[in-house]
Amino acid sequence: MHFYSATFEDTIPHFNNLHLPHSNVLVYNLSSSIEITQNNTITTSEDPYRNLAEKLVYKYICLAIFVIGFIGNLLSVLVFSRPALRRRSCAIYFLALAITDIASLCSSFIDTVLPSFNNVSLTMKWTFICKLNPLLVYFTTDLSNFLLAVASIDRAVSIQCPVKSQYFCRARIAIYIILVMSIVFLLINGHLFWGFEIIDEQSSKFCLPSKAKYVYYNEPYSMTYDRFYAIFDSLDMLFAVVIPFIVMLICNIIILIRVITSRRSVTTTASNAGQSKEARKRHDKEKQLTVMLLGSAAAFLVFTLPTEINDTIRAFHPPDVPQTQGPAALVTAIFIAMGQLNHAIHFYIYTLTGRVFRNELIQLFTLSKYSFLRQKTVSSIRQANADQRLLSLSTKKTNPDDVDA
């Protein structure tokens, strides 16, 4: 996940672009075909590929991803918050993942979609957003990937060691783990809020790592923040992508082997009918959560790996060759959309692969409908009672007059 301002390279052609980050899982990119002038307005390039990326990918495809992802993740939050699921540790991880993905999609909306419609870049207009948005991008991406990794560990422990899992695979433990990871990732990525700033270069503005701030000052070995950020960004790819993927791969292999063997064991050794039914029911729930997790892990691989390959290729690209012109600009935009899709598709994976998730989703809408009808009925009854009381009061007031008469 890299921060890259394409127009900075085009405006200052002798700048070594290897010191600038490139597109990754969720790119902090104000679209490859724009340039920000001093009045914060955006002018487009004549490059047809860059214009296509701006007018089609960023404006419409990324907007569609944001809409379906926001709605899907919001529904995931509602479903995993239901009592039937929120007692399970794996569901807590999925709940945190949905909330994290919402924040990630909002940061990408500010970065790619919004400038395409209003011709104004918020990240280059306000310093606070310039500092906050890259922090949000890195934090949500790191947390999202590691939530999938920890959920994989949770499922592997639950299936492989069902007795010991009672101490680890608990909702309260999952909440503690999520809080600890959130604090750790905020500390790791907190320097982004300090290091990013709006830079004025040749009548244009760019939100980039600072070249004036020093991480370490001791001539001649001083290190400016932009150099530190280039190193940090390279290491972050290994930390936030490769490590979670290896963890998910190992855990999912363990899960698959254990699920296959346990299924045979349940069907062949269960002698008591009641125990067999309970075992099958428990096994079915574990299997559904496992399949949901495997689907999310597969989506992580499909939508993240091509982006990482593109980043690796661009990292070794000759510095004197523009990387944001021609077909490369359109390819980069497609990878950006794929990275955003990774944060938008989990709800639909859950719906397709998990029957327990579908049942809870149906009950969510069913109960909402019944609650609405019940509330409407109660309101009607209360209104009728109020009308009856008013009628009785008016009758009591008129009775004394009738008696006097």
For the chain, give the number of residues. Answer: 405
State percent of the chain over pLDDT 70.
68
322-373 per-position pLDDT tens digit: 555 677 788 888 888 888 899 999 999 888 888 888 888 888 888 655 555 5
Position 387 in a domain: no
> What residue type is 341 in one-letter code?
L
Lowest mean pLDDT segment, chosen from 27-36, 104-113, 171-180, 362-371: 27-36
Closest Cα to residue 121, out of 38, 13, 17?
38
The residues, ordered by sequence, that sit 6+ positions from 351 with a Cβ below 8 Å of its Cβ are: 357, 358, 361
Position 396 in a domain: no
pLDDT of residue 405: 46
Q: For residues 291 and 352, what is the distance between their CA atoms, to the nearest angstrom? A: 10
Mean pLDDT of the chain: 76
> What residue type is 256 in one-letter code?
L
Greater pLDDT, 267 or 146: 146
Q: For residues 296 and 302, what is the distance between their CA atoms, to the nearest angstrom? A: 10
Token representation of residue 11: 């405006």
| Domain containing residue 218 | 6-356
Position 101 in a domain: yes
Position 390 in a domain: no
Is residue 282's pLDDT more than 70?
A: no
| CATH, residue 281 | 1.20.1070.10
227-246 per-position pLDDT tens digit: 899 888 888 877 888 889 88
Q: What is the mean pLDDT of residues 41-64?
A: 76
Position 378 in a domain: no
pTM value is 0.76
pLDDT of residue 305: 74
pLDDT of residue 28: 39
Position 310 in a domain: yes
- φ, ψ of residue 257 in degrees (nearest 5): -60, -45
Greater pLDDT, 223 or 287: 223
Q: What is the mean pLDDT of residues 304-333?
A: 67
Q: What Cα–Cα distance (Å) separates residue 55 from each residue in 3, 166, 232, 248?
A: 21, 52, 32, 36
Helices (H) and strands (E) in the chain, counts: 16, 6
Lowest mean pLDDT segment, chosen from 2-16, 55-69, 234-248: 2-16
pLDDT of residue 373: 52
Total domains present in the chain: 1
Position 236 in a domain: yes
Q: For residues 353 and 93, what is the distance between their CA atoms, to the nearest angstrom? A: 17
Position 26 in a domain: yes
**Torsion sign over Cα 73, 58, 328, 323:** negative
Q: What is the mean pLDDT of residues 287-315?
A: 75
Say how many C-beta atoms besides its own lie within 10 A of residue 301's C-beta: 13
pLDDT of residue 76: 93
Q: Look up residue 123 and give its DSSP letter.
A: G
